[in-house]
Amino acid sequence: MTLVNSESSLQPGRPGATGGDNGLRGVVGFSSSDLTSIRNLLRGGSVIDWHRLYFTDREQVDRYLRINEYDPSNAGDIARLEDLREQAVEYLERYLGFRVSEDVAVRVPARDLLLVASQKGKRRTQACVVLKVMHVLHHLAGGELATRLTVSADQIFQFVEDKVLRTVEEMKSAGCQIVEFEWSRKEQDSLITKLLAKRDNIAAHVYDKLRFRMITRTEEEIVFVLRELISRLVPFNYVIPSESQNNIVDLQSFVEGDPYLRSHLGDLLELSNESPDKRPPQSNEFSGPSYRVVNFVADLPVRMDKHLGLSPDDPLFADTGNVVFVLTEFQIVDMRTSQANELGENSHERYKERQVSRVRARLMHGMQDEETGGPVVDLSGRQDGDLGHE
């Protein structure tokens, strides 16, 4: 499905510009938390490897909680955070032999651990450790809840589609220059082909069953779209590690090129032990030699009590919470790159040809005709040797 957006009068433009009274804020709206979150989307890193967070105030923390489907004004949601903190501390002390200080274990509200993990001091390390375990516990609970629901996968996919569509409309109203937006669910034939082509052929590892694609006017506007996504929809902490591809955005250069953003450069460079922002082309072996895209996968949280018309304290959610997660792929390109991606070897048609060729070769690999002893001929009439090997 595709939606085409007409040109908006609100144009964020170059760094430092603002989009008007109701438009996107310019780069002065970027915080260290925004930039490090965007970098995690671009790199496909894991927050388990982070040694600090980058929140500066309660407003940023609450925004982050809402993206993770926690309502900071809801006593039940705050109680759920406290329960996760208690479970995390118990695990750390019982299983790993950690000694968690009374402040971090009890006294500081669980919600405020996100601020403690962002500040200098002795408590930061412990707050980070506790939050990492809470992150995993919440994710595991979402998986457990998904097994208990009587809702079909198609229905949950529909919940995600509705959520993303609402968010994109909000982004466009705020001035995001999204000139084209489309979404799709991978069909059965495509799923089979992808699994046969992948060396790691497990169904759970097909991350693009649900995919959303956005096209911006210019390359630079991709960064603004990413900022809005991490502000409204995508929890940076649930980006799937090692599944991001980026050969368009050079985030460090974007930051270095603006006087205001340069004040955040130190925080950005703290993550310098990871891979570069901008990776060489053709991360996907079937893509064309000059195919370019920003692509990442995230486990989007979906709050089920609202969709099912249940109370948050329904017994169904007693020990799991009320959130499930849905693997969702996002692709973002600018108009010029999108057009180039449809030419020659970069085209989707050529991509599928290379993928199908690999599947044929893999299925027939090493087989010989029992009568002739020669290579077996596949259904396309080609010989195994014509198709190459793994």
CATH number (domain holding residue 221): 3.30.460.10
Q: Are residues 164 and 307 in the same domain?
A: yes
Question: What is the edge-to-edge ordering of all strands in the sheet holding 210-216?
Answer: 2-4, 178-185, 210-216, 323-334, 294-303, 245-246
What are the tens digits of pLDDT across the range 91-132?
Answer: 999 999 999 999 999 999 999 999 999 999 989 999 999 999
Is the same domain home to 82 and 136? yes
- Please report which confidence band the pLDDT of residue 342 belongs to, taking 50, 70 and 90 as the band edges: confident
Confidence of residue 275 (pLDDT cuts 50, 70, 90): very low
Q: What is the pLDDT of residue 7?
A: 36
Say if residue 239 is in the same domain as residue 363.
no
Rounded CA separation 3/380 (Å)? 37
**Do residue 316 and residue 352 come from a single domain?**
no
pLDDT tens for each residue of 293-304: 999 999 999 999
Please, which residues have CB within 8 angstroms of residue 298's CB and are 6 or more apart in sequence? 41, 234, 235, 238, 239, 240, 327, 328, 330
Which of 344, 360, 378 is the endpoint of a domain?
344
Q: Are residues 216 and 351 in the same domain?
A: no
pLDDT score, position 309: 93
Identify whether the C-beta of residue 215 lies closer than 8 Å to the C-beta of residue 180: yes
Distance CA 143, CA 138 (A): 9
- Asked whether residue 81 falls in the same domain as residue 121, the answer is yes
Assess whether pLDDT exceeds 70 at residue 21: no
**What average pLDDT does the chain have?**
82
Q: What is the mean pLDDT of residues 169-186?
A: 90
Does the pLDDT of residue 363 top 60, yes or no?
A: yes
Same domain, 292 and 225: yes
Q: Which residues contact 315 (CB under 8 A, 6 or more apart)?
A: none
At which residue do the structure tokens 């050079």 appear? Answer: 250
pLDDT greater than 70 at residue 11: no
List % helix, strand, coil for the chain (3-state, nearest 5). 50, 10, 40
Helix (H, G, I), strand (E, B) or coil at 108: coil
Residues 358 and 327 grouped into a single domain = no
More confident site: 268 or 336: 336
Q: Which of 112-126, 142-156, 189-203 has the lowest mean pLDDT?
A: 189-203
Task: Tell me the CA distances in angstroms from 61 to 81, 110, 164, 261, one per residue in order.
Answer: 13, 11, 22, 21
Residue-level pLDDT at 113: 98
Q: What is the pLDDT of residue 323?
A: 97
For the cut 80, the answer to whether the pLDDT of residue 369 exceeds it is no
**What value does the mean pLDDT take over residues 164-171?**
96
What's the structural domain count of the chain? 2
Question: In the structure encoding, which two tokens stand for residue 379, read together?
Answer: 């259904």
Domain with 262 in it: 2-344
In a 13 Å sphere around the CA of 240, the CA atoms on its Cβ side amount to 20
Does residue 324 have a pLDDT over 90? yes
Do 140 and 191 sit in the same domain of this protein?
Answer: yes
Task: Among 8-22, 84-98, 282-296, name the one with the lowest average pLDDT.
Answer: 8-22
pLDDT of residue 354: 64
Do 216 and 89 lie in one domain? The reply is yes
Tokens of 104: 């971090």
Predicted pLDDT of residue 390: 33
248 and 374 co-located in one domain: no
**358 and 290 housed in the same domain:** no
Alpha-carbon distance values, 13 to 24, 68, 167, 175, 390 (Å): 10, 30, 21, 11, 46
